[in-house]
């Protein structure tokens, strides 16, 4: 197993290079293609792959600590890799060991996996306008996806499609396959450089081995929902650390203190010190909550690999992450707002682009709305309804609505 010291020595220099140009990339809306290649070359994509398959064998908590530091350097990078790292987790826990090993070895060799799951206008996780149909010895994939985070930088796209009314499929698609189009049209005001735009599949032929059919609503016995949100929490925690860096750096470069001339150097002003200290405290609390949640996810991830996972472990991971989600979002939004108090109007000038931190935090905080996660936690504490039952009940509601619509049309 790798150590934190080894991971720090490997990746800290890469993160420093990434941080150097983050503001300029933001200003120019320049996609971080080169920076993704740096991470690939350093082995960041294989950080969770077991050593025996050519990876670094990091635990979930070790990985999350590195992801926080990457988010500190540039919050676009951990998000654009979200689909990749979630796919790695799915292969670590894949029921077919042969399939899992095949993909883990590919990833250890440098393959990056992008995400294209969501569709604009869909009514649930399991209602896809994108379809996949069997055609002789292979399948044909057709449809349009949005929020295709990371796919512009990837070698493969992990997507989903409807097989019939009761089943869907996970589909792996090479980005250079005929009929695949990737479009950089993400228009959010934050996380602008994640490649979260449109992907079009125009009658793309897919071999049988790259199609995994599963029943809709099958969320029992998985920690992936918690893991996916944990990635956002790590990115947010990195943004909190970046807010501390930016606040302190802004103050140190200032040469006057107009409103409190008793302290000509702003860094000596106790009121400004208090603001920087508050931002640091908010960041510290966000990181602490995220790392505790990572411990819970790590416990169930290890148990899944060992074959000892229980419902209690899955529930504990969901509850830890969903509880942390509400706190971390509030803490980081506060930190990325409070930092402006160190500089007055000069802190809002374009050359510092301090606004990017709040915009990126607000965008990340809007994913997987926290109001639903708070309800899941509350329902568990009051009524002992397991977090995974939310997904099952959601699918039941989808079916009931479809049945009612069908009956009404007859």
Summarize pLDDT for 100-123 with one digit per residue, the tens.
999 999 999 999 999 999 888 766
Cα end-to-end distance, the chain, whole Å: 61
At residue 399, the pLDDT reads 65
Give me the pLDDT at residue 215, please.
Answer: 86
Q: What is the pTM of this model?
A: 0.94
Please tell me which residue, 361 or 343, carries the higher pLDDT value: 361
Task: State in words which class domain 224-388 has.
Answer: mainly alpha
Q: Are 263 and 257 in contact (CB under 8 A)?
A: yes
Per-residue pLDDT reduced to its tens digit, 57-104: 999 999 999 999 999 999 999 999 999 999 999 999 898 999 999 999
What's the whole-number average pLDDT of the chain? 92
CA distance 32 to 74: 10
CA distances in angstroms from 69 to 7, 153, 265, 287, 296, listed in the order given = 11, 20, 30, 11, 20
Q: What pLDDT was estimated at residue 124? A: 62
Q: What is the CATH number of domain 115-215?
A: 2.40.110.10
Q: What is the pLDDT of residue 409?
A: 57
**Given this model, what pLDDT does residue 1 score?**
75
Predicted confidence at residue 119, as pLDDT, reads 87
Is the per-residue pLDDT at 254 higher than 70?
yes
Beta pairing partners, 160: 170
Angle between helices 311-338 and 370-383 in degrees, nearest 10: 140
- pLDDT per residue over 310-325, tens digit each? 999 999 999 999 999 9
Dihedral sign, Cα of residue 217, residue 223, residue 229, residue 235: negative
Q: What is the H or E stretch that residue 377 is in?
A: helix 370-383
Residues sharing a CB contact under 8 Å with residue 371, sequence separation 6 or more, in sequence order:
none
- Going from N- to C-terminal start, the domains of the chain cover 4-111, 115-215, 224-388
Structurally, at CATH architecture level, domain 4-111 sits in Orthogonal Bundle (1.10)
- Strand 167-174 and strand 211-215: pairing? antiparallel
């Amino acid at each position: 197993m790798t150590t934190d010291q080894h991971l720090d020595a490997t990746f800290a220099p890469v993160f420093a290079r990434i941080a150097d140009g983050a503001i300029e990339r933001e200003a120019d809306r320049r996609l971080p293609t080169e920076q993704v290649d740096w991470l690939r070359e350093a082995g960041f994509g294989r950080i969770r792959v077991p050593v025996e398959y050519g990876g670094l064998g990091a635990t979930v908590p070790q990985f999350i600590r590195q992801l926080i530091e990457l988010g500190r350097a540039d919050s676009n990078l951990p998000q654009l890799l979200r689909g990749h790292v979630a796919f790695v987790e799915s292969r670590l826990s894949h029921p077919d060991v042969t399939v899992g090993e095949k993909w883990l070895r590919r990833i250890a060799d440098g393959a990056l996996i992008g995400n294209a799951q969501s569709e604009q206008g869909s009514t649930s996780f399991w209602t896809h306008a994108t379809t996949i149909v069997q055609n002789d010895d292979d399948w044909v994939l057709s449809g349009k996806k949005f929020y295709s985070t990371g796919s512009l930088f990837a070698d493969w796209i992990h997507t989903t499609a409807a097989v019939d009314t009761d089943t869907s499929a996970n589909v792996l698609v090479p980005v250079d396959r005929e009929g695949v189009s990737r479009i950089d049209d993400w228009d959010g005001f934050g996380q602008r450089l994640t490649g979260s735009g449109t992907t079009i599949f125009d009658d793309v032929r897919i071999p049988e081995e790259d199609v995994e059919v599963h029943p809709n609503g099958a969320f029992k016995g998985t920690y992936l929902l918690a893991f996916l949100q944990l990635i956002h929490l790590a990115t947010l925690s990195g943004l909190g650390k970046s807010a501390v860096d930016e606040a302190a750096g802004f103050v140190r470069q200032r040469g006057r203190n107009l409103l409190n001339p008793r302290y000509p150097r702003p860094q000596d002003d106790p009121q400004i010190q208090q603001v920087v200290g508050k931002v640091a405290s908010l960041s510290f609390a966000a990181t602490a909550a995220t790392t505790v949640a990572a411990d819970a996810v790590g416990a169930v991830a290890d148990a899944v690999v060992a074959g000892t996972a229980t419902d209690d472990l899955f529930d504990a991971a969901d509850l830890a992450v969903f509880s942390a989600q509400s706190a971390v979002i509030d803490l980081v939004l506060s930190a990325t707002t409070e930092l402006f108090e160190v500089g007055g109007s000069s802190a809002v000038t374009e050359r510092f682009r301090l606004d990017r931190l709040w915009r990126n935090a607000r965008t990340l905080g809007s994913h997987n709305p926290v109001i639903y996660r708070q309800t899941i936690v509350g329902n568990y504490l009051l009524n002992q309804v397991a977090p995974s039952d939310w997904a099952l009940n959601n699918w039941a509601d989808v079916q009931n609505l479809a049945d009612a619509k069908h009956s009404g049309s007859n």
